[in-house]
Amino acid sequence: MHCALYDTGRCRSCQWLKTPYPAQLSHKQSYLETLMTPFDVAEWRQPQPSDQQGFRNKAKMVVSGSVERPLLGIMHGDGRTVDLCECPLYPASFAPVFASLKPFIARAGLTPYNVARRRGELKYILLTESRDSGAMMLRFVLRSTLKLAQLRSALPWLREQLPHINVISVNIQPVHMAILEGEEEIFLSDEQVLAERLNQVPLWMRPGSFFQTNPSVAATLYASARDWLADLPIHTMWDLFCGVGGFGLHCATPEMSLTGIEINAKAISCARRSAHELGLDKVRFTALDSAAFATGKEQAPDLVLVNPPRRGIGAELCRWLDNHAPRWILYSSCQAESLAKDLSRLERYKISRVQLFDMFPHSSHFEVLVLLTLS
């Protein structure tokens, strides 16, 4: 893939950009196979490739420069800022939004936050697109509510320019640190959630809840989970670290009892809404810590699906799973090293199937789906 920003040294975020894409995939696959050497893998599926560009549904732009000439992009460690509006990882539909946002920032007088001087108001612009409908969610991360009234009164102009932005909000992040978002979210639109649909399953995105950033590959990942489970006699299932419910809602059948557990209550409200739309009445989604939920139970379901953050599921949950022995575990991981560590703790399981999903092209990262069967 060609990136002028990379070639001119302005952005080097994609460390593997100069490696041809097929070689990127085979490097990732060989690395994964090396990590899995201690385990006996019954079946390897072919890696799932990604589109090489335009695959992201989300932009997190640091705002810098001046109010008349804002830059939307990244800040390097030395404080240098670079405009990334032409980053080829974003879909073509993002360019007109960035083009309208720049004059809007001037109209609303949203002075970019200057980290060195600790002055200014607008810190980040967060833009998310529904791949299904093309509708978008736009969030302004501000240092305080000082410019909120100005932003509100300039907003009709922006809405006229960009009528497909359904959800607009302001996040207040008063802390002077590299933290992206604060606790307080103020909605400026009637809509507070953005509808997505992957494989005909309705999903909802909302500020602050996790959603996969490569929706095409996420759709193949969820569909694979559903296909892998389709032939197994599963009556009861848990989806731990479920986010807005993508895995569980793909895998659940009307007869199956599904419990989804996630720490973020807003994500849980999205998952409940999807289950209701699908007419799944044996599905429960609850906001809890996954390990605390599992360790409070006497009995495991037929299958436990886990999709943890990069740190993995950890020793306590592995111990509980190994002791309570669900017949199957389906583990989706975005960090192969923590996955390998967790697999070594699940001593009673054999590895039935493994597949790599290239969620993050041009970087060393990838997603892996592993089916474990009780020995």
Ligand X SMILES: C[S@@+](CC[C@H](N)C(=O)[O-])C[C@H]1O[C@@H](n2cnc3c(N)ncnc32)[C@H](O)[C@@H]1O
Which residue ranges are tagged as binding site for S-adenosyl-L-methionine?
212, 241, 262, 307
202-210-189 Cα angle (round to 5): 70
Return the number of the residue (5 or 283) whose C-beta is nearest ligand SF4: 5
Neighbours of 141 (CB within 10 A): 24
Phi, psi of 361 (to 5 degrees): -55, 155
Q: Residue 358's closest CA among 371, 348, 349, 367? A: 367
Return the number of the residue (78 or 298) whose C-beta is nearest ligand SF4: 78
Query: Smallest distance, Å, CB 53 to ligand SF4?
Result: 8
In what helix (H) or strand (E) does residue 99 lie, and over which residues does it extend?
helix 94-107
* Residues that constitute the known binding site for [4Fe-4S] cluster: 3, 11, 14, 87
Which of 89, 193, 225, 329: binder of ligand SF4 (CB under 6 A)? 89
Query: Smallest distance, Å, CB 311 to ligand X?
Result: 8
The answer to whether residue 334 is catalytic is yes
Residue 63's binding partner, choosing from ligand X, ligand SF4, none, with beta-carbon cut-off 5 to 8 A by kind? none
Backbone torsion region of residue 355, taken as left when φ is above 0, otherwise alpha when ψ lies between -120 and 50, otherwise beta? beta
- Sign of the Cα torsion 171, 174, 178, 183 reads negative
Which of 36, 59, 71, 87: binder of ligand SF4 (CB under 6 A)? 87
* Residues that constitute the known binding site: 3, 11, 14, 87, 212, 241, 262, 307
Q: Which two tokens stand for residue 258?
A: 């599904």
The 2-21 site mask, x for binding ligand SF4 (CB under 6 A), equals -x-xx----x-xx--x----
Q: How far apart are the first and last CA of the chain?
A: 44
Return the number of the residue (5 or 221) whose C-beta is nearest ligand SF4: 5
Residues in 15-54 at the binding interface with ligand SF4, rule: CB under 6 A: 17
User: Could you give the CA distance from residue 277 to residue 258 in angstroms, rounded to a whole number?
Assistant: 15
Residue 280's binding partner, choosing from ligand SF4, ligand X, none, with beta-carbon cut-off 5 to 8 A by kind? none
How distant is the alpha carbon of residue 223 from its chain centre? 17
The residues annotated with a catalytic role in the active site are 334
Q: Which positions lie near ligand SF4, rule CB under 6 A? A: 3, 5-6, 11, 13-14, 17, 84, 87-89, 362
